[in-house]
Amino acid sequence: MLSGQSFGKSAAAAGAHAHTVAFFHGLQVAITMTVMLNIVQYAYWTCLSRRQHVTKHWDKYGPVYLLMVAAVLVTVQPMMILIIGSWYPGKDGPDGCNANPEKWPCHNAFWDNTATNSFFPNQASGWLIQVFCTYVGYILLVVGVVQATDMVNKMKRTWRMARG
């Protein structure tokens, strides 16, 4: 409930604080890219040091490749929103969205000019980007980290030790 109220207040005040919203979109992209690339680096060094006996390239570095794809997929949506928000002309004026509702960035992959909620896309392409890129990216992130850290074998070993 608290987060719902916060989102409601943020959405209502977004027009008055457009520069703050744009700043935090940029900050979100920077943090997301930094975290994702650090996870890829961690997986690379983990696979390099713990899989020295593995000879096949894909068997050794497969999790790193999964995490590289996940890093790209997870950052697609925040990057697109940053790009759209950076060139948003506003609703009024000669170049505004009321004058040219079918022109980019008023009409883009996520929203058209009739959108009332900026948290959920109101176009099919936006939903596809959100579902495919973001959700599949996070699924690949979990799978890649589990594979890179060999978590399944560690859990089996711990279970056997606990059961005696």
Find out whether 144 and 63 touch, Cβ atoms under 8 Å.
Answer: yes
**Other beta carbons less than 10 A from residue 70's beta carbon:** 23
pTM: predicted TM-score of the whole model, two decimal places = 0.76
Residue 1 is predicted with a pLDDT of 41
Domain residue ranges in the chain? 18-163
**Mean pLDDT throughout 73-91?**
82
Chain mean pLDDT for the chain: 82
> SS3 for 8-29, per residue?
HHHHHHCCCCHHHHHHHHHHHH
Kindly report, residue by residue over 104-159, the tens digit of the pLDDT.
Answer: 666 777 777 776 766 778 888 888 888 889 999 999 999 999 999 999 989 999 99
Residue 56 is predicted with a pLDDT of 93
Report CA-CA distances (Å) from 114 to 1, 5, 76, 98: 27, 23, 23, 10
pLDDT above 90: residue 69: yes
**Other beta carbons less than 10 A from residue 97's beta carbon:** 19
